[in-house]
């Protein structure tokens, strides 16, 4: 069945909230996603669809030339089929279209699956945000987005 990456719509929110609930210990509500879609001009969310079914989603905030990955999740039944990679690729492409030259994210150090995916996409670990999660620090990762305006130095400290 073909996989498509599309802009998230309010009609997708029930499916998104269902996946979110099974993927995260402290899930966002459908209302949080609705508010992101309707009220946050910096936010851009996408869904992965297999046929008619929403099988994953992810989002970015883009502020000037910086993008931040806010979330990424795939329905458990559809994992390890390239859906997460397709979503991440789509979100990086969207970030680039919107003028971002670097993208950052936070991930749990214990989240082996996500860390492996991000590393495969060229994200580098740059430090820890203390107590970012209720029970764990957040590992901060960055990668450049090649573009006509040139890349930002990969080391935010320099
Ligand atoms: C992380 C997540 C989005 C990956 O989605 P996915 O659709 O299964 O990922 P893909 O099939 O596209 O995998 C792409 C690559 O990522 C890596 N990867 C993905 N899942 C992995 C796992 N469980 N163990 C090791 N590597 C993994 C592999 O390198 C994989 O390539 P391969 O299958 O050719 O080996 C998914 O596991 C998920 O939704 N997790 C729960 C929510 C979450 O933790 N989100 C990230 C928050 S920061």
Q: Which atom of ligand 1 is nearest to the CA of 75?
A: 39
Say which residues have a Cβ less than 8 Å from residue 59's Cβ, sequence separation at least 6: 8, 36, 43, 44, 45, 46, 69, 70, 71, 72, 91
Catalytic site residue from 45, 57, 78, 118: 118
Catalytic residue among 106, 132, 133, 136: 106
Cα-to-centroid distance, 149 and ligand 1 (Å): 31
pTM, to two decimals:
0.94
In tens, the pLDDT along 106-143 reads: 999 999 999 999 999 999 999 999 999 999 999 999 99
**Domain coordinates of the chain in residue numbers?**
3-144
Burial class (CB in 10 A: 0-12, 13-18, 19+), 42: middle
- Superfamily of 3-144 according to CATH: Gcn5-related N-acetyltransferase (GNAT) (3.40.630.30)
DSSP 8-state secondary structure symbol assigned to residue 28: P
Is residue 80 in contact with ligand 1, taking CB distance under 6 Å? yes
- For residue range 1-46, what is the model confidence (pLDDT) as tens digits? 799 999 999 999 999 999 999 999 999 999 999 999 999 999 999 9
């Amino acid at each position: 069945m073909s996989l498509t990456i599309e802009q998230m719509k309010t009609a997708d929110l029930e499916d998104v909230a269902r996946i979110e609930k099974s993927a995260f210990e402290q899930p966002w509500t459908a209302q949080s996603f609705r508010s992101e879609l309707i009220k946050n001009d910096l936010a851009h969310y996408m869904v992965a669809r297999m046929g008619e079914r929403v099988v994953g989603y992810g989002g970015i905030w883009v502020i000037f030339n910086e993008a931040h990955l806010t979330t990424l999740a795939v329905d458990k039944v559809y994992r390890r089929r390239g859906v997460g990679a397709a979503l991440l690729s789509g979100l990086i492409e969207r970030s680039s279209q919107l003028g971002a030259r670097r993208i950052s994210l936070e991930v749990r150090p214990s989240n082996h699956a996500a860390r492996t995916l991000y590393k495969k996409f060229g994200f580098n670990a740059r430090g820890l945000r203390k107590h970012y999660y209720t029970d764990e620090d957040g590992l901060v990762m960055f990668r450049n987005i090649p573009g006509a305006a040139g890349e930002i130095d990969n080391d935010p400290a320099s």
